[in-house]
Chain A
């Protein structure tokens, strides 16, 4: 009997704690509902409507916008966007992981200095930093002039206005978003684990592959999503560094809303992106759970 009373009291305490915690969630939930879910609902609703001649929508229901999205023109652009964003993400990982790893090996006061240096570019406007690449890389730019002056080349090389330049621009813009989560994952790994592995006979490279890398994986995945998502939706870099000769999904969506005045089709493209990104987040959560579940379980 007394035990039952204690249990009820504990339940009541837990319930009170839950309620007070829920109250703190209200502002966040309200914000997400009003500024994200409701507008997203509008966009989803628009996908079934017909375009108005001057923008907006006419309330004639149709599924045509969806069938149009399967047109090889748009599927091709989506594929190219995925390739470009994936290439930027892969390069960001190849550069970002060693960078983050090196920073964790520094004395802790130096670690903060280097982390500050990593986010420093964000203090300058993104557009200006992108234009700076044009100044560096164009055929009359610093790099070409330097190479010609040193006699390495006779004719200026065309670095810009190719998909490669777009990848470079995206990599540059979003690299810090890869480094920071990997750093925070690496810095949390208990050094004792690696020492234990080595004491038990693992070589340093084995310890790195079997201890450090798997434990850093959640950070890598977060970084990959942080780089991939803004890359695939970006429309400024393809326009400036791609010279308007490379079209990505971001450009396509913007053009449907602002130029073609085709809100319903633009909405279909936007929703397809959302669905694709949700799948990515789902996969990331699954991997995360597998890795962390193994560790704690």
Chain B
């Protein structure tokens, strides 16, 4: 049954009082930004993944600009998305989200277009990173870190069987059964099967996704677990010998055991980016831009490379940090051009329910 919005709203006015009162956000104009604004009069709330930034960042930023910064942590994209899309002003000025989530926020008109003149350090942005598929031209987001997904494995426990293909992970030799993990987050749960079958990581085709499902259900029989957070520790302990992993996270295993190696399977993989966005509801947009600019400072951004062991799309920071790291952590040396050969993840729009359904079918089987 269809009903117009107007009729519905009036008949359920009482119910909606709480839910909708905050939905009518005002569209402020980005040209209103004042380059000479007094940043010490502004305050910032920044939502970012825990342990993904220098701990003293709030204090250092306040020291430099006089802006009081509150950092809140989120564990997953979904968690911060729930806050940002609940309607009204979430109180968050700057959010760190993965690229496809930034795209979904932009599609809902929740993001401020960035004023690059207020982010002079963005000249450090690697030019390939301006052309990421979720935000061509980096209009509303500035990437914080980027990388790809592959197989992280124990070369000493898999001598002679070193994986080169997603199929090595999905249909392993019997002796590796029960010693494999895959990522649990939907897009990366699908990725190995999508690529092994030669499909796009953004496919919305139901027949293709049906075949992805069948392959994943077969692969499940060989899995120890679906794991997003402790897979590298399982490699270190030897509980697992081969795991689907983000490049940066594999480095945490490599740091503890040099026999751990990372490969990008020959069928290709994804290009992911964690990016920074300024919310349209922010009342501190000048300070928010200054914060993005501060991140793109060579010293701050190279801290991320040195300590988080993630690649950042910042020329100067990579030039500063890479030489000392690439020997121990070869995947830090994957070049921007090589990354660009992988497929950028974009938002799925309505098809997100198809992915969730298949993930539910696979994990509950």
Contact = CB atoms under 8 A, between A and B. Distances in A.
Are A and B associated in one complex? yes
Interface in A248-297: 252, 255-262, 265
B223 A158 contact: no
B1 A55 contact: no
B353 A260 contact: yes
Contacts of B164: none
Interface stretch (A73-81, A108-116, A166-174, A190-198): A73-81
A246 B360 CA distance: 10
A136 interface: no
Given A41-B15, A42-B19, A259-B356, A244 B239 contact: no
Given A41-B15, A42-B19, A261-B352, A140 B237 contact: yes
B357 interface: yes
Contacts of B363: 244-247
B319 to A, nearest CB: 38
B224 A42 contact: no
Interface string A61-91: 1100000000001001100100000000000
Contacts of B104: 54
A139 interface: yes
Nearest to B347: A54
Q: Which of A42, A140, A260 has the most CB of B within 10 A?
A: A260
Contacts of A260: 352-353, 355-357
Contacts of B234: 138
Interface in A182-228: none
A142 interface: no
Interface string A21-62: 000000000000000001001100100000101111001111
B333 interface: no
A74 B148 CA distance: 33
A97 interface: no
Interface in B293-332: none
Given A139-B239, A244-B227, A54 B85 contact: yes
A55 B18 contact: no
A258 B78 contact: yes
Q: Which of B3, B9, B82, B224 has the most CB of A within 10 A?
A: B224
B138 interface: no
Query: Which of A160, A252, A259 has the most chain B CB atoms closer than 10 A to its own CB?
Result: A259
Contacts of B361: 73
Contacts of A140: 237-239
A161 interface: yes
A243 interface: yes
B220 A259 contact: no
Main secondary structure of the interface of B (DSSP, over half): helix
B3 A252 contact: no
B359 interface: yes
B15 A259 contact: no
B176 interface: no
Given A42-B19, A53-B349, A161 B359 contact: no
Contact of A55 (B2, B3, B81, B364): B81
Contact of B3 (A38, A45, A61, A265): A61
Contacts of B18: 38, 42
B226 A244 contact: yes
A262 B178 CA distance: 33
B5 interface: yes
Contact of B227 (A77, A243, A255): A243
B159 interface: no
Given A54-B85, A161-B224, A258 B79 contact: yes
B350 interface: yes
Nearest to B108: A54
A245 B226 CA distance: 7
B357 A245 contact: no
Nearest to A48: B1
Contacts of A245: 220, 223, 225-226, 363
Contacts of B36: none
Contacts of A62: 1
Contacts of A160: 225
A31 B204 CA distance: 45
B178 A158 contact: yes
A172 to B, nearest CB: 19
9 contacts: A45-B15, A60-B3, A161-B224, A239-B184, A245-B223, A245-B226, A252-B360, A255-B356, A262-B353
Interface of B: 1-5, 8-9, 12, 15, 18-19, 76, 78-79, 81-82, 85, 87, 104, 107-108, 178, 184, 186, 220, 223-227, 230, 234, 237-239, 349-350, 352-353, 355-357, 359-361, 363-364
Given A54-B107, A245-B220, A247-B363, 7 more contacts: A42-B15, A45-B12, A54-B104, A56-B85, A73-B364, A243-B226, A244-B227
